[in-house]
C-alpha cells in the first residue's frame, strides 16, 4: 500500500513537472532553490533560499504549491493522520489536548486538522512536505497565525532551548510537543522560564497566547458545569470541591468532563483559584449570585 507521505511527495513532484512546462526563464534556479530547501529542512540553516517574492517564477511555484495542498484529496489527509498517530499519543502538539477518535468502526483517525509547522504562506515550498504537516486540534489550527517572519536559524535556537530539536528531527515519529515545555499562568498570559528571543518569536508566530486563552475558557466552562451540579452551600464546600479537583487523579475519574484533555493546565487553573483567597471568594460570590437551583 502506498503511504500518504509518498502520495504527498508525488503530488509535489507533479507540480514541479507542470511548472517546468511554463517556460520561466529562471525555472532551473527556482527548482534548485526548492530542492535545496527541502533537503535542508531538518537541519534548519540560517536562511532558506526559496522566497515567493524572489522572482515571478518563485511566486508562481509558490501559488502552485499552496493550491496543491488546498486541493489535496481528503482521503490522503485522512490516511496521513492515521499513519502519523500509529505509534504516538493522540495529542495536539501545541496545547496538549487529547484528539478524540472519529468514532467510526473502520477507522482510528482522530478528529484533527492538518497544520503546517512552517506556515505555508510564509514558506510555500513546504506546503506539500510531509515532515512539515502536523495534526492539531481544530481550535489550535483555526487560530490565525501571526504573519511575522522568523528565520530557520531562529526556529532552531527556539527548539534547542525548549529541548525539542531532536523531536523535530525525528518527525513524524514524534510530536513537536511545545505544550510540554511551556508553563501557563491562568491569571495572566503564557509565560516562559526563559527570555530567549527566538522562543518569544515562535510564541508570537503561532499565537500560543491565544491558544492557551481558549483552553482557559474551556477550563472555566468545565469548572462551572461541575459547580452547578455539586452540593455547594458554603465557601468551605467550594474549597473542598476545588481541592478534590486539584488532586492528581481527579481528571481521570471525571473524564466525562474531558478534564484529561489538558490535565496539567487544568490542575494549574484550579490551584490558581484554590490558593488565591481573592479568586476563591470571587468564585463564591458568583455561585451565590447565580440562579442555580441547588442554592
Ranges of beta strands (E only) in 103-152 are 113-116, 133-136
The pLDDT of residue 8 is: 97
pLDDT of residue 248: 54
What residues contact residue 66 under an 8 Å CB cut-off, 6+ apart? 120, 121, 124, 127
Q: Do 274 and 187 share a structural domain?
A: no
| Total tally of structural domains belonging to the chain | 2
Q: Which of 181, 206, 231 is the last residue of a domain?
A: 206
Helix, strand, or coil here: 72? Answer: coil
> Are 66 and 145 part of one and the same domain?
yes
Residues 65 and 114 in one domain: yes
Residue 260 domain-assigned? yes
Residue 99 lies in a domain: yes
- 202 and 59 together in one domain: yes
Q: State the CB neighbour count (10 A cutoff) for residue 61.
A: 26
CA distance 190 to 212: 7
Do residue 175 and residue 198 come from a single domain?
yes
φ/ψ of residue 23, rounded to 5: 60, 45
Residue 294 resides in a domain: no
Tell whether 52 and 175 lie within a shared domain.
yes
* Beta strands per DSSP E along the chain: 113-116, 133-136
In a domain, 295, yes or no: no
For residue 255, the model assigns a pLDDT of 46
Q: What is the residue range of 201's domain?
A: 4-206
What is the model's pLDDT at position 185? 63
Per the domain annotation, does 130 fall within a domain?
A: yes
How far, in Å, CA of 158 to CA of 155, rounded?
A: 5
Is 150 within the bounds of a domain? yes
- Give the integer Cα–Cα distance in Å for 122 and 160: 22
CB half-sphere exposure, 282, CA atoms < 13 A:
8
**pLDDT of 50:** 96
| Same-domain pairing of 86 and 170 | yes
Residues 6+ apart with CB under 8 A from 4: 76, 77, 79, 80, 82, 83, 130
pLDDT for res 106: 47
* In a shared domain, residues 35 and 146: yes
Does 184 reside within a domain? yes
Q: Is residue 271 part of a domain?
A: yes
Same domain, 261 and 117: no
Last residue in a domain, options 163, 187, 206: 206
One domain, residues 151 and 263: no
pLDDT in tens, the chain (295 residues): 899 999 999 999 999 999 999 999 999 999 999 999 999 999 999 999 999 999 999 999 999 999 999 999 999 998 998 888 887 778 888 777 777 765 554 456 667 888 888 889 889 999 999 999 988 887 777 776 666 677 899 889 988 888 888 888 887 667 777 777 776 665 555 666 677 888 888 887 777 777 777 777 777 887 887 887 787 888 898 898 888 877 755 554 444 444 445 666 677 778 888 888 888 898 888 888 774 444 4
Of 206, 233, 263, at which residue does a domain stop? 206
Residues 197 and 252 in one domain: no
Q: Are residues 247 and 285 in the same domain?
A: yes
Amino acid at each position: 500500500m502506498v503511504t500518504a507521505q509518498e502520495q504527498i511527495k508525488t503530488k509535489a513532484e507533479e507540480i514541479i513537472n507542470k511548472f517546468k512546462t511554463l517556460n520561466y526563464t529562471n525555472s532551473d534556479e527556482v527548482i534548485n532553490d526548492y530542492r535545496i530547501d527541502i533537503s535542508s529542512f531538518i537541519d534548519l540553516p540560517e536562511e532558506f533560499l526559496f522566497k515567493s517574492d524572489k522572482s515571478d517564477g518563485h511566486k508562481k511555484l509558490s501559488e502552485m504549491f499552496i493550491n496543491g495542498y488546498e486541493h489535496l484529496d481528503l482521503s490522503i489527509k485522512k490516511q496521513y493522520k492515521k499513519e502519523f498517530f500509529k505509534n504516538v499519543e493522540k495529542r495536539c502538539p501545541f496545547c496538549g489536548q487529547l484528539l478524540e477518535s472519529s468514532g467510526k468502526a473502520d477507522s482510528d483517525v482522530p478528529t484533527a486538522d492538518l497544520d503546517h509547522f512552517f506556515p505555508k504562506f510564509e514558506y510555500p515550498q513546504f506546503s506539500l512536505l510531509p515532515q512539515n504537516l502536523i495534526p492539531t486540534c481544530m481550535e489550535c489550527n483555526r487560530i490565525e497565525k501571526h504573519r511575522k517572519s522568523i528565520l530557520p536559524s531562529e526556529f532552531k535556537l527556539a527548539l534547542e532551548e525548549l529541548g525539542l530539536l531532536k523531536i523535530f528531527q525525528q518527525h513524524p515519529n514524534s510530536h513537536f510537543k511545545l505544550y510540554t515545555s511551556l508553563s501557563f499562568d491562568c491569571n495572566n498570559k503564557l509565560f516562559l522560564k526563559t527570555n530567549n528571543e527566538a522562543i518569544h518569536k515562535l510564541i508570537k508566530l503561532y499565537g500560543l497566547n491565544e491558544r492557551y486563552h481558549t483552553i482557559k475558557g474551556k477550563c472555566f466552562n468545565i469548572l462551572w458545569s461541575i459547580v452547578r451540579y455539586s452540593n455547594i452551600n458554603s465557601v468551605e464546600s467550594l474549597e473542598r470541591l476545588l481541592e478534590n479537583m486539584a488532586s492528581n487523579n481527579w481528571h481521570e475519574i471525571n473524564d466525562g468532563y474531558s478534564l484529561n484533555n489538558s490535565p496539567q493546565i487544568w490542575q494549574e487553573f484550579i490551584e490558581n483559584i484554590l490558593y488565591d483567597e481573592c479568586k476563591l471568594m470571587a468564585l463564591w460570590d458568583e455561585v451565590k449570585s447565580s440562579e442555580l437551583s441547588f442554592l
